[in-house]
Each structure stands twice: as C-alpha cells, then as structure tokens.
Amino acid sequence: MPETESVTEIMAMLALQLGIILFAVRFFGRMVKRVGIPQVLGELLAGVVIGPYALGGLHFPGFPQGVFPLGAGTLAVSTELYAFASIASIILLFASGLETDIGLFLRYSLAGGVIGIGGVIFSFAFGDLVGVFFIPGSTFMSPQNLFLGILCTATSVGITARILSDQKKMDSPEGVTILAAAVFDDVLGIIALAVVLGVVAVITGHGVAGADSLNGLLILAIAGKAFGIWLGFTALGLVFSKHIANFLKIFKHSYDFSILALGIALLLAGVFEKQGLAMIIGAYIAGLSLSKTEIAPVIQERIHGLYEFFVPVFFAVMGMMVNVKEIMAPPVLIFGALYTVAAILSKVIGCGGPALLLGFNGRGALRIGTGMVPRGEVALIIAGIGLASGILDQKIFGVVILMTLVTTLAAPPLLSATLRIPGTGTRKPVKGDESASTTWEFISDEIADLVVDTLLKDLKNEGFYVQMLNIDEGLSQARKDDISLSITEEESNVTIETARTDMPFVKTAVYEVILRLNDSIQKLKDSSDPRQMKKGLLDKDGRTSADLLSLVTPQCVSLDLKGETKDAIIAELVEILSVQNKLLNKEAALIDVLDREKTMSTGMQHGIALPHAKTSGVSDLAVAVGIKKEGIDFESADGEKSRVFILLLSPRKTSGPHIQFLAAIGTVLKDDDVRKALIEAQSKEKVVSLLQKGKAG
Amino acid sequence: MPETESVTEIMAMLALQLGIILFAVRFFGRMVKRVGIPQVLGELLAGVVIGPYALGGLHFPGFPQGVFPLGAGTLAVSTELYAFASIASIILLFASGLETDIGLFLRYSLAGGVIGIGGVIFSFAFGDLVGVFFIPGSTFMSPQNLFLGILCTATSVGITARILSDQKKMDSPEGVTILAAAVFDDVLGIIALAVVLGVVAVITGHGVAGADSLNGLLILAIAGKAFGIWLGFTALGLVFSKHIANFLKIFKHSYDFSILALGIALLLAGVFEKQGLAMIIGAYIAGLSLSKTEIAPVIQERIHGLYEFFVPVFFAVMGMMVNVKEIMAPPVLIFGALYTVAAILSKVIGCGGPALLLGFNGRGALRIGTGMVPRGEVALIIAGIGLASGILDQKIFGVVILMTLVTTLAAPPLLSATLRIPGTGTRKPVKGDESASTTWEFISDEIADLVVDTLLKDLKNEGFYVQMLNIDEGLSQARKDDISLSITEEESNVTIETARTDMPFVKTAVYEVILRLNDSIQKLKDSSDPRQMKKGLLDKDGRTSADLLSLVTPQCVSLDLKGETKDAIIAELVEILSVQNKLLNKEAALIDVLDREKTMSTGMQHGIALPHAKTSGVSDLAVAVGIKKEGIDFESADGEKSRVFILLLSPRKTSGPHIQFLAAIGTVLKDDDVRKALIEAQSKEKVVSLLQKGKAG
C-alpha cells in the first residue's frame, strides 16, 4: 500500500494519465478510422504507443519513471489505472448485454444458432491446440491453452456489418445469417468463458499444471456447475426483469435508475468474480436481464457518456500491456502467426461448414465464414483477465493482441473478395430477393434521430428483433420471420433497405411515425398558441429604458410611408436604414425580416407593427420608424390596420438587447396618447421625442 | 503494491463497493430529500453508515475485513476507490467552473464582489483562529490552521437558492446579492486555496510546524506566486478559450469533444497537483476557461451521466472517512461546535457588514449573511485533500464534516426566520419592487426542457448572466443590470418571476422562443409532408401474408354500410366488432380510432379507407370490413369518394403485426380488379375470399 505522502501524488499521476489517454485514444482512433480501420484498433494502438513499454516509459524531469511507469506484479500499469479499465470492461459488457434481446431472437434464427455454435466449437479447439503445439509440456486442459481456446471464440461483427452495409448485402441471406450467428456467438462465448474459468479454478486449485489428475467426469461436473450458475442467474434475471425494472423506476429520474442499473451490473460482476467466474459474465447477465424491459433504451442512452469515457480507456490500457519488444521475437511472431491462421480457419470451417448443411452453397458458406473472422473487445477483455490472474504471460498476451489486430484488419478485404464472387450464396433461389431502398431526408440530425428511435420502438412493438450494429455509424437491422430491414442514419438522412415486397410495410411504418411526431408537435402548438400569446405582449407598465430608446434617431424616421402592402412597408423601412449606411447587406436584412414575418406576423394590436430580425445584414442594432396615417393590413393580432411601424435589426452573432428593445418599444406604444400623438406628429424630431420620453410624451 | 493473485480480487471488491455505494447514496439521498435536507448530506451520511467505521467494517463470510476494509495509511478506503473519488472531485469542479461565466458576471455586481470578499476574509480568519485556540502550540500559520481557515470559506448556496425561491425572494435585492456573492465566493475560495497550499508546501518543506522561521515578506512572496499561477492559467485559459473550443470541435461528435474537455481538466488537475497546488484548482480553471464558449452547454449535458455516476461516489467516500467514534469524544464535539459557530458568525459578519455599507439595512444585512452560511462540496473536497496529505488528522476531519452538516442544516430555518422579519432589506426604497410571476404549461417535460434551454440561450444572447442554481430542481436565475428573472421548471410547468415592469420583456422573450420552436417544427412537417407520403403507401408489389389476412372473417363484414359521414361509418364498423364480442371497451376503441383520424384521415386513394388505431379497447387484433357502393367523403388522399372501409384495431400494450396488416391490406386493395370485385360482391364470404386471395381474387 502506498505511503501517506504519496496518495496525492498517485492521484495526480492518475489524473494526468487519464487525461493523456483520453486525448491519445481519440487522436489515434480518428487516424485509423480515416484509412478504414476500426476505431478500437486505433485506441489499442494508442495504448501501445503511450504505454510503459514505449513513450510512457521515457524519463522526463518530474517523471523519473516516465508518465506511465511500469506497474509492479503482472500489471504494466498502476492498479488505480487498471481499476478504471476493469470498471470499463463491466460497462462494456453490461451495454452489450443490454442490446441482446435474446428471448425475441431465439424465435427467429435456427441457422444463426447452428452456425454460431459451430464457430465457437471449432475456434475453441483450434485455439487450444495451437497452444498445445507451441507450449512445451502443455496439454489440451492446461489453463493457458484453455484460455487460448476461449480467446479465439469471440467474434466482433461491427466491421463485418459495415462492409455488408457498404456493399448493400446486409439483407442478403448471408448477411442476415452472419448477424444472427454473431448474437449467438456473444452468448456462447460468455457461457464458454464461465465453464473454462470454473475448470481452470479447479485445476489451479489442485496445484497441477495440466488436468491429468482430473478425470473426464469431474471436468464435466465442473463445467456443468459453471454452466448452471450462468443459466441460473440468466434465468432469474429474465424472469424477474420486470420486477427489477419496476424497482429501478422507483427512482424517477432517468439518470438515477440508469446508473442504478449499472450498479446492479457492478454488484453482479463483483459476486461472479468472488465465485471464481469473471466480472464480465455478471455484467453481461445484468444487461441481458434488463434488455427486454422498456427502460433498456433509456439506460443505453443515459450511460452513453460513461461508455464513451471509460471504454476507450479500457482499450488503451490493454494496449499498454503489450510489450512490443517481447512480441518482436521470432518465436513469438511464429506462434502469433499460426494462432492467427488458426483463428481465421476455425471460423471459416466452423461457421462455413454448418452453413453448407443449411442451404448455402460454397460461395455463401465462404462469405459467412469470412464474416465471422474478426475478433475484438471480448477477446481483449479475456486476455486482460488471463494476464492479471497470471494464467497468461506477456508473450501469450502479445500473441492474442496480434491475432485480434490481424483478424480485424484481414476480415474486410477477405469478406469483400468473397462478396465480389458473382452469384447468390444459397442453393435454393430466394423469392423476392430483389431489394429496394428508400431515403428520407429530414431537416436536422436531431429529427432524424427522433424518427429512427421511434421507428425502432414501433418495429419492436410489431414483434421485430432489432439489433444496433454500429452505434457510431448509425447502422441498425430489424428482422422478423423472413422480413429484414437495414436502417442507416447518416446525418439528417435515413435510408432503409429491404426486399422490394416489404417496401410498402416500411413506408407505412415510417408514415405512422411521422404522423405521430406531427401530432405531438401540433399539441405543443395548441397548448402555447402564439397568436394568443401575442395579445399579451403589449403592457403599459413595462420598463422603458432611455438608453435603449436613444437608438431611435430622426434620420431613420419616415412620417409618410408610401407602401400599400406589408412587404412594401418592410422594404421601405429597410431602405431607410440602407440610405443611412446602417446596413452591411441590405438583401440579407430584408430576407431575414420577411422570414420572421412568415413565422408569425409582427402586427400587434392598436395599429402597431414591430417587424424585426436577427440578421447578418447589420453589425449594430439598427432601428427605423415609419408612420402611415391611412394604415395598411399587416395581419395584426386584433385585425385592425397598422399605422406605426418600427423595424428592429440586430446582429446575429454578438449578444445585445434585441428582445429588451422590443419589450421597451411595446410598452411605450401601449399608451393611447403616445400612439395618437405619433400618428399626428409633424416632424421627425417629434416622433423621436415621443418614443424616447415614453409616458411623458 | 498488490500481489499477482490479488489483482482480480481487488477489482472484484472495487466493483462490489461501487455497486453498493451507487445504491446507498441514492437510497439515503432520497430519504433526506423527503424531509427537506439537501441530497448531498444524505450521500455523505450513506458513506458514514456503510463505511469501514460502521457497517462496512463488519466481518462477513467471504469478507474477513468487511465489505469496506479499512485502507492502509491515512485513507479509510482502498486507493482504487479513493481514485474514483479523486476523479469525481475533478469532474465536480470542472462542472462548477463550466457554469461560472465570470467575464460576463464581473460587469454586473459590485455588491456581490465586496460581500463575497468580506465573507471569505472573515471566515478564513475565524476558522484559522478556532484552530489556534484549540490546537496546543499552533499558530495562525500552522498548516492545519490554515486549512481550517480555508475550509471555512467556501459557501454552497444551492440550499439557500431553494429557500429564496420557495419564499419568492430570489429577485429581492438580498436574493440577487447572495447569489452574486456566491459566484465570487467560489472564485475567491479557489484562489485562497491556491495561496494556502503554496504557503503550506513551503512551511512543510522547511520542516517547521509553524511559520515562525518565515518572515512576512517571504510568505507574501509565496502567496503572490501561487496567486500568480492561478491568475496566469486562468488568463491564458480565458484568452485562448476560443482556440481551445475550436480545437475540441475538430472532434465532431459532441461526446468526443465533451470528454476531451474533461481530458483537459484531468491534465490541468495533474499538472497543478504536480506543482504543489490542488487538482481541483486545475479542474476549475479548465471549466472556467471553457465557460464562455458556445460548447459549454453541450459539454455540461454530455458529461452529466459521468457527473451523476462519479460525484455521489465522492460524497460517500468522504462520509467513509468519518470515524464516528472519534468525533463523539467531548473535546472533538466542543471543538466542532465552536468551529461551527465561528463558521456561521464569520459569514453573517463578513457578508452582512459590507452589506450594511452598500445600502442594505440591518434586516437585509442579516438576510444576506445568513444566506451565505451553508458550506458544502468544496469544503469536503479540501478536507479530503488535507486528510490524504496528512495535514489534517481524523479529528479535525470530523470537525469539518460536523461544520458542513450543521451549517447546511441550520441555514434554511435561520434564513427563513430572517425573511419573515417584515420590511424591505434596503435603506433606499426600491423602484418597481413589486414582483410578478407567470406560469406556462407545456404538454410534456421534454417540451418544457426545450423551451427553458432555448430561453436561457436567448437570454445569454441578450447579454444576461445566467446561473443554474439547482440542476435537480430546475432552478435558474438570469441577471442583467438591475433586471433579474428566476426561472423554475417543475415537470411540464415553467414559472418565471421578475419585477412587474420586466414582465413584458419576459413575455416577449418566451413568445419569440415558442415562435422559433414552432417554426422548426413546421419545417419538419414540410420536409416530410404526410399528405404526400400517404399517396406512396399503396403498392401492388407489396407482400400479402395469408396468415395475417386470415383475420378477416365473414362475421365481421358488412356489405351495405348505412352511414353517410366519416364518423358514422367508423361507428358502424366498431359496432360490428362489438356485436361479435371482439371488443373489451367499445367507447375506448371508438375514441382511439377517431383520434387517429384527427391526426390525418386514413382515406387513401382509389376509394379505400383504412381507419385504424392501437387501443386498450381490444385484447387481440380485430378487423371489420364494410362496403358502401355509393361512397362517402372520407377526406381521401385523391379526393375521390371512399367505398371500401377496413377497420383495424390492435391492443396498445402487446406487440403484434399492426403495421404489417395495414401494409398487406393496402397491397391487396391496390389491385383494380380486386377493388371492383369487392364493391360488387354479393356475399360476405366473397369479400373475405377476395381479400385473402389478393391478386388471385
């Protein structure tokens, strides 16, 4: 434990390190994303570069051990920083569980299940066997080999989904199957991890390097127990999910119950680790349990900031654990290369094989197998667990990182190549395979977000299984029976792709969403009717500020406006300001004032009109006053003709008393005598003095 | 440093502890809030109760040291948990700085400045002197006494603002002055902390208990240097704030740049601590620098989830540091009582005195002094720093916690009492003191939020200084010159209070906000015109699902509808379902269908109408079909009369194929022959078979 004096020192280092990590991950993430590499690899790379084995280990004045000093024990970083990475892995798996609506999913994809299972079994076996081959004296049941097996299982299809979407293949039978299999892969990976950890705990507890002293039955029993714990908690979580959600909702504020949901994940993570299973299993089950409740999307949104803060820290810390020098040794590189090849082949064979039996042809099976190749965050988390618990050494850790990097980098070109092979991937021709896509353009990103969110909610209500594939890039997929839609949100555009025959359904769904949004908007308008509000604006008791009203000058007054229409009057007032050199851009000013009128006429009661706008056409507040004794129709609030016109223009950017001026002038004009005197005024000076003196006028 | 095997153990404990803390703080926070005590005290109390000196120290199976084992050194908790509390304090002060738009503020309140300074000087002196009196052999310059002084300075006016608002006194001269003084108090407290830490570092570096060996000039020089560092960084931050904001905005996503802004706070915190100043000073300056940029509100919103996760952990950890047994000793209690009295008196005298010189009478001065009494989070953070660095011992730490608790609990009744004294608080009568309040009711909390956010932005553009007083309770204040408004948001109601003479200004401002919102809503409607969309819905190539269409039965078909109006036709169709016992609640069903029609008629082209609704009036999907050969006006999309009517009712809660059915029936009816045959059909069975067979009909 650190000494008294150094607690503040430790915290200062932690703050610095976190600050540096936050910048490094975003910098590297951006760089690699530009060349089409997934952001997470950039974050990992950031960790390698700034970590203790590279830049972070350099000595600086004030940092005798470097900014990221090598931690003691098996950790390359301080336990405090590692603590942030650990909590990050809990948040990551909690969020991942929250997205997996397994109950609904099971109903729809047998093929996904079989292919997912095939991939997990083959990759586990291949990964483990590479370890048996390379690590002298080890067996299939050696802890590090079991870890090499489990590390090989977890597919991460974010990058695959992106490629499928780019090539408009997300709704192809192969695309749908890959995404379905990936969900099974997630769940199976967690179960397999539970089983392996249970077995490893017993093996290491026995003090044996291998499992030679354990017979097959005992191992089965242990595995069964671990699986039982997983199943028990998952079942309990799903059965009581409604009750848990109701309990959480006692805390009305969405931030409160969302963070408490994360609290459940933390508790379950702690309990699982205490039971010899991994924290992430508990976190995943907590997420899975809440996934089918109606608060799941709220929780996802509310913890998004936490996710964005923590998760990149996790990847960076994993990168920091990579000892580049150790990896560069030829034996490690050979080990890594073979492990990577095994990781690729195992998915191609393990997923492609079952695909062949399920109606896909060779092309289709190859596409599916290739699509399942990339490994990602879960492999990294498990590798971190292995390293921290001492089961994996730095070399094997490096091998795993290499495998993760290469599979993620290799999958996109491989998958693209298989997709370019002409012909369908299924043996039976697909009915209505012809696909269609429709794009809706909305006025802003926020509106597009709102439409997509509401649509996804509606689709869930229709019984669809909705999968968010890539939060950053706004890619979702919805499936029900043999209907499948992919929804892409790019800034303010929403594109939905589906089979030609399902387009009417999609259009009807979007139509209903827009109708509903329109309706709630209409209700807002009704509840705060601007027309009614306008009538309450003029008020005799308001404040009239002499400073403000001194802006009115005789040069900008016209006693006899010529215009007969609203637009003509406004143009005349703008012209007055233009002649007096008060405008930067006459056209811009005129357009902005007319735009404001379109929203709602500025004709008030009692013959007053206050056309106004914020515009780039002026650099300072500018006021023009015009009188037209006969009056014209200015669409005023009381239907009376308008006779006194005051035009107010304010610069758009700088802050200034725009509304204050409007309120002040309104107060002055509310006075009957002032208004009458204004209309009868014989000189411009009289007009100015009437407006400035207010009631005294 | 922990050993290899225990890293995972440490992380499991951390996860458990964080999970327990998240629940405990929300539970205690809720409880105390109910009896009107600020939530933060509940969070502190939660820490005391579950901490190592109370429940957390109890031994359990699996937890030989308790769930919160006592940490080594001066920390009562593990360094990992303390690390979360430290990062929390950085987030807290960063957010606090972000809210302080000091540049704009300085322009408007001389009185606030003078009163804030008075309070800081007096409370520093009083707090320090209590230490001199109680701690044998200590002097005014002893580090722990300097800390007792600085701990006494930081006012926390959240609770004061609540009371002023409840009693409609927020816009009184006293109210405005208290809130203004509190902003100065924040800034001055940070400066004073910098100076004290600089001096303490030199004193402890000299190895002397007091400062006897340091002459006054040297101390001044040190203080000057610390102040200089503060001023330098603050000035740099403010000067380059635009550049920093522009740099951050390179990262387009708001989460990215918000978290990077926090990254700057972490970096500056680390740098300041390395320089012997506190982390929170750096964090506060980072916030202050960004406070006047336009991304400040975005950052505040984006890091809100982090704030809600971390900050209560901080208060709980501070509570855990409290050794209840130590505090309960009579000498500590007496020390605490005197320190608390000094803390109260020093603000009453230090703030009330200058108030007397600035135009307030005795009543007003007393109100202002009392309003400045509560201490809060900053005192706790500084106490934590003192404890962690070994300058404060557990007893003095307990004394500070007592003071924080008592001042926060005592201030509300004291302030209420002074407010009840009749009469104004100023010597010169205030013009237009009469205050007015207006409440707007919106249809939902979200809309109210949107209106308030936009209004506050507009007010800033008008040159107002906007202060968020109590985020949880939606209380804000805006000031400019002698105008002041308080804005309270309670669920969907927004109430604004201000002087009678400024009400026209307020109404104009709200009016302009609502106009603008209405306008952007209109644009959405225009860009996705439902009327146009409707015409694209019917599509011959759509999918017709036999399963779905089997819902149509002869019993629910009418070949000859009687109704002559839209409403009559709908009522007739609902009646058919009612007679067939398909409805749970006929009235509800009818109302929901008519409501949906109000949004937009379901009359399509080609004489088809598809009235439909989700309603609690049915428990299963129900369909009625009606024909009216002559046709009636159903406000159809093409203006033609409608002759074929299909009513669809779906249960509101359960998920089902509502939209799928609409799309399928639309596809069937798009076929000209089917439609003609339907209208001419002689039997109900014929209608059903036509609808079910689709194109084949």
Q: How much is the pLDDT for B524?
A: 60
Q: Do B12 and A270 touch (CB under 8 A)?
A: yes
- Give the tens place of pLDDT for each residue, B143-159: 999 999 999 998 887 77
B378 touches chain A (CB under 8 A): no
Residue A99, min C-alpha distance to chain B (Å): 18
Burial string for A651-678 (b: 16+ CB within 10 Å, else e) reads beeebbbbbbbbbbbbbbbbbeebbeeb
Token code pair at residue A353: 């094989």
Question: Which residue(s) pair with B498 in the sheet?
Answer: B436
**A275 shares contact with chain B (CB less than 8 Å):** no
User: Cβ–Cβ of B15/A541 closer than 8 Å?
Assistant: no
| Residue B658 contacts A, CB cutoff 8 Å | yes
Inter-chain touch A442–B390, beta carbons under 8 Å: no
Of B2, B15, B530, the CB nearest to A266: B15
Report d(CA B587, CA B590) in Å as an integer. Answer: 5
Write the DSSP string, A535-573.
HT---TTS---HHHHTT--GGGEESS----SHHHHHHHH
pLDDT score of A449: 77
CA-to-CA separations, A402 to A396, A414, A681, in angstroms, rounded: 10, 18, 87
What is the C-alpha R_g of chain B? 34
**CA-based nearest distance A464→chain B, Å:** 9
Res A212: pLDDT:
52
Which of A62, A599, A664 faces B519 most closely, judged by CB atoms?
A: A599
| Residues B443, A389: C-beta atoms closer than 8 Å | no
State how far the Cα of A216 lies from the Cα of A140, in Å rounded to an integer.
Answer: 12
Contacts of A253 (CB under 8 A, 6+ apart): none
Read off the pLDDT of residues B396-406 as tens digits, 9 standing for 90 and up.
999 999 999 89
Residue B63 main-chain phi, psi, to 5 deg = -130, 75
Q: Please state, in angstroms and rounded to a whole number, the distance separating the CA atoms of residues B4 and A79.
A: 11
Tell me how far apart the alpha carbons of residues A221 and A224 are, in angstroms, rounded to a whole number: 5
Does B297 touch chain A if contact means CB atoms closer than 8 Å?
no
Distance CA A144, CA A136 (A): 12
Grouping H, G, I as helix, E, B as strand and the rest as coil, residue A462 is: coil
Chain A residue numbers touching B25 (CB-CB < 8 A): none
Share of chain B above pLDDT 70, in %: 89
Separation of alpha carbons A396 and A383, rounded Å: 9
Burial pattern A530-554, b for ≥16 Cβ within 10 A else e, equals beebbeebbbeebbbbeebbebbee
CA–CA dist A71, B256 (Å, integer): 29
pLDDT of residue A602: 84
What is the per-residue pLDDT for B209? 44
Contact B657 A1 (CB under 8 A): no
Domain positions in chain A: 6-420, 435-527, 538-696
Which of A584-598, A660-674, B220-234, B329-343 holds the top average pLDDT? B329-343
Q: What is the pLDDT of residue B223?
A: 81
Alpha carbons A659 and A663: distance in angstroms, whole number: 6
DSSP state of A640: P
Q: Distance between CA B269 and CA A8 in Å, rounded?
A: 11
pLDDT at B4 over 90: no
B376-400 per-position pLDDT tens digit: 888 888 898 888 888 888 889 999 9
- Taking all residues of chain B, what is their mean pLDDT, rounded to a whole number? 84
Interface test with B, best of A6, A7, A545 (most B CBs within 10 A): A7
Strand order in the sheet with B435-441: B435-441, B493-499, B483-490, B475-480, B465-470
CATH fold group of domain B536-696: Mannitol-specific EII; Chain A (3.40.930)
pLDDT value at residue A697: 37
B chain contacts of residue A259, beta-carbon cutoff 8 Å: 22, 26, 305, 308-309
Q: How far is CA A598 from each of CA A164, A543, A588, A601, B418, rounded to the nearest angstrom?
A: 45, 28, 15, 7, 52
Q: Are strands A612-615 and A608-609 parallel, antiparallel or unpaired?
A: unpaired
Of the partner residues A270, A309, A442, the one whose CB lies closest to the CB of residue B524: A442
Q: Cβ of A260 and B22 within 8 Å?
A: yes
How many Cβ atoms sit within 10 Å of the Cβ of residue B1?
Answer: 12
- Which of A552-556, B103-107, B115-119, B601-605 holds the top average pLDDT? B115-119
Residue A326 CA to its chain's centroid (Å): 36
pLDDT at B373: 93
Domain covering A6-420, topology: Na+/H+ antiporter like fold (1.20.1530)
E strand map for B500-621: 557-558, 608-609, 612-615
| Terminal CA-CA length for chain A | 80
A7 contacts chain B (CB < 8 A): yes
Q: Cα separation of A53 and A68, whole Å?
A: 9
Q: How many residues does chain B have?
A: 697
Given a cut of 50, the residues of chain A with pLDDT beneath it are 1-5, 207-211, 432, 695-697
Closest by CA position to B480, among listed B67, B19, B105: B105
Contact B542 A16 (CB under 8 A): no
Asked if the C-beta of B35 comes within 8 angstroms of chain A's C-beta atoms, the answer is no
Least Cα distance to B237 among B104, B89, B106, B102 occurs for B102
Give strand ranges (E) for A250-317.
Answer: none
- Residues in B closer than 8 angstroms to A14, CB to CB, are 83, 86-87, 270
Residue of B34, B79, B253 to mutate, interface with A, max A Cβ within 10 Å = B79
Per-residue model confidence (pLDDT) at position B118: 94
Are A5 and B519 an interchain contact pair (Cβ–Cβ within 8 Å)?
no
Sequence-distant (≥ 6) Cβ neighbours of residue A269 within 8 angstroms: A90, A279, A280, A282, A283, A286, B12, B15, B19
Q: Is the pLDDT of residue B457 over 50?
A: yes
CATH of region A538-696:
3.40.930.10
Say how far apart CA A133 and CA A199 lie, in whole Å: 21
Is residue A424 within a helix (H) or strand (E), and if so which, with residue range?
A: none
Q: Which residues of B are catalytic?
A: 612
Cβ separation A16–B274 shorter than 8 A: yes
Q: Which residues of B touch A309 (CB under 8 A)?
A: 259, 262, 306
Count the Cβ atoms, other than its own, within 10 Å of residue B496: 24
Q: Which of chain B's residues have a Cβ under 8 Å away from the Cβ of A267?
A: 15-16, 19-20, 23
Q: Which residue has the tokens 């003084």?
A: B181
- What is B93-302+332-420's CATH topology? Na+/H+ antiporter like fold (1.20.1530)
Which B residues in the span 398-417 are in contact with A, Cβ-Cβ below 8 Å?
none
Dmax (CA) of chain A:
113
Comparing A159 with B263, the larger pLDDT belongs to: B263
Cβ contacts (< 8 Å) between A514 and chain B: which residues?
A: 528, 530, 533
CA–CA dist B310, B22 (Å, integer): 9
Summarize the confidence of residues B4-12 as an average pLDDT: 75
Partners of residue B655 in chain A, C-beta under 8 Å: 460-463
Residues of A in contact with B514 (CB under 8 A): 528, 530, 533
**Nearest residue of A to residue B533 by CA position?**
A511
Catalytic position from the list A59, A304, A612, A658: A612
| Closest-CA distance of chain B to residue A266, Å | 5
In this predicted structure, what is the pLDDT of residue A472? Answer: 58
Residue-level pLDDT at A502: 82
State the best of B74, B313, B524, B662 to mutate against chain A, taking most chain A CBs within 10 Å. B524
The C-alpha atoms of residue A256 and residue A685 are separated, in whole angstroms, by 62
What kind and span of H or E run contains A608? strand A608-609
Q: Name chain B contacts of A658, Cβ cutoff 8 Å.
A: 461-462
Topology of the domain comprising B435-527: Double Stranded RNA Binding Domain (3.30.160)
The token duo for B201 is 């570092």
Which of B224-228, B372-376, B582-586 is predicted with the least confidence, judged by mean pLDDT?
B224-228
Instruction: Tell me the three state secondary structure of residue B646.
Output: strand
**CB-based burial, B560-589: b 16+ in 10 Å, e otherwise:** ebebeebeebbbbbbebbbeeebbeebebb
The shortest C-alpha distance from B88 to chain A (Å) reads 11
* pLDDT of B503 above 50: yes
